[in-house]
Amino acid sequence: MANVAVIGLGIMGQGMAENLLKHGHTVTVWNRTPHKAAELAGAGATVAATPAEAAARADVVFEVTADDSSSRAVWLGPDGILAGAARNAVLIASATLSVDWIEDLATRCAGQGVTFYDMPLTGGAAAARTGNLVLLAGGDASGLPALRPVFDAIARDVRHFGPAGAGTRFKLILNALQAVHLAGFGEALRLAEAAGLDPNQVGEALLDRPGGVVTRLAWDSYLTPPEPLNFSAAWAHKDLTYAARMAEGTGQDRHPLLDGVLSLFAAALAEGRGEEDWSTVNPVAPR
C-alpha cells in the first residue's frame, strides 16, 4: 500500500480520498477550507496543515483544485507541494488547468528532479464516488505500471496521450466537445418546442440517436438538475477559456463551434448562472 496525499477536496478530490482509504492506502489530505478535511479524518485520513506537509508524507501526490490560480497557490511557495515533496515522490496534477501552467509546472518539477504527470479526470462526481474515473495521463509512460495499485483504487482506466501536457490537451478538447454537444442538444429541444413538438418526447427519442453519454447527461440534467452539483457553468466556462487559449496557440484561426459555445457560457455567467449546472445553457423547462 502507498502513502498518498490528496490536495483539494472538492467533489473529485473527496471521492478519490475516500476510495484510496477504502483500498487500504495511507492518505493525507489538505483543503483550503478545513471542514472538508475534517470529514475525511473520521474515515482515517491524516489532515495536514499545509500542502507542503501533505506532500512530505506521500509517495504519490494528487492535486485536484479548481483552476490555474488555486493550483499555483498549492504548488508554489514555502508551503507548497514542491517545497515539501521528496525526490522519489510522484506528483500528479489532476485538475483541469491551462496548457501554459501545466508546461510551467512540468518544467519546475523536472528542475527539482521529481516525477510529474498531468492527469486530468473524467467521469464526473458519480465516477469519483465509486472509483470509476478515467485518468487522462501525460508524462513518462514507463512509470505508470508501478502506480497501478493507487490508480486501481480510484479509476477504471488510465489513458496515456504522450509527454507531460498531453493529458491536459486532451481534457480541454474533450470538455470543449462535450460543451458543444450539450449546447446543441439544448438548441434542438428549443427548436422542437418552437415547432410545436413536446420537448420531453423529443428528448427521449434523441437518446436513441448518435451522441451517447453526453446526450444522456444533457437529458438527465434537463429533467432534474443534479444535486449536488456535478459540473457548473462557471467550471465549463473556465475549461472552455483554457481550450480557446490552447487553440490560439496552434495557429489555426477558425474554431466557430468552440467560440460559439464559449460565448453561451460567458452569457450564462454574466446573467448570474455560473453556479448552476452547465445544462443551464439549455433554458427549456421540462413539462
For 66, which DSSP code?
S
DSSP H helical ranges for the chain = 11-22, 34-41, 51-56, 68-75, 81-84, 99-112, 124-130, 148-154, 166-194, 199-206, 212-223, 233-249, 256-270
Distance between CA atoms of 270 and 184, rounded to whole angstroms? 20
Distance between CA atoms of 79 and 287, rounded to whole angstroms? 52
Q: What is the end-to-end Cα distance of the chain in Å, rounded? A: 51
List of residues 6+ apart from 87 with CB closer than 8 A? 112, 113, 114
Query: Which residue shows C-alpha cell 508546461?
Result: 103
Structural Rg of the chain based on CA atoms: 20
Q: With the C-alpha atoms ordered 234, 121, 259, 244, is the resulting torsion angle positive or negative?
A: positive
- The partner residues of 29 in beta bridges, in order of sequence, read 6, 47
Distance between CA atoms of 283 and 80, rounded to whole angstroms? 42
From the candidates 22, 36, 171, 238, give the one annotated as an active-site residue. Answer: 171
On the CB side of 84, CA atoms within 13 Å amount to 22
171 is catalytic: yes
> Phi/psi of residue 282, each to 5°?
-115, 75
Distance between CA atoms of 136 and 130, rounded to whole angstroms? 18
Q: How far is CA 173 from the centre of its chain?
A: 13
**Catalytic residue numbers?**
171
